[in-house]
Amino acid sequence: MNVDKEFFSNITSRERAIFEGGISMGALFHQFIGTPVNEKTKENLEKTIENSLKLQPAVENVDVTIDSEKLKEISEFEYISLNGDMLNVLIQTKINDISVDIRLEFIKELNYPLMYVEEIRTIRKD
């Protein structure tokens, strides 16, 4: 079965690249929020999130940063639960000649971890 022809022939490469990035961002948020984390496990958790999301279709690159300042608010149990306001994430997807950057970052003015399309590029083939 050709998945692209069967299920994605009704949308453009641009739309598909955005779709794939959004799906991956939603998966990240709903799978990892609440994960116990501290300064010792921060780097491993960042890499685990990155590596798991890279398995998703069309995902070219993932960069995850957990805010170290938030980890200083640690509980008496020596860890804190991961929250959306602790994450800065960039997911880069690519479909055909379209590359899309999807961002998750905490926006202080909104008091909200916002997911948005940061950039859309057409990749020129020389």
Total-model pTM: 0.91
- pLDDT digits over 27-82, tens only? 999 999 999 999 999 999 999 999 999 999 899 999 999 999 988 877 677 889 99
Instruction: For residue 116, give the CATH number of its domain.
Output: 3.30.1300.20
Q: How many domains does the chain have?
A: 1
Residue-number span of the structural domain to which 106 is assigned: 3-122
Residue 74 pLDDT: 77
Closest CA to 100 of 115, 120, 123: 120
Distance CA 66, CA 88 (A): 7
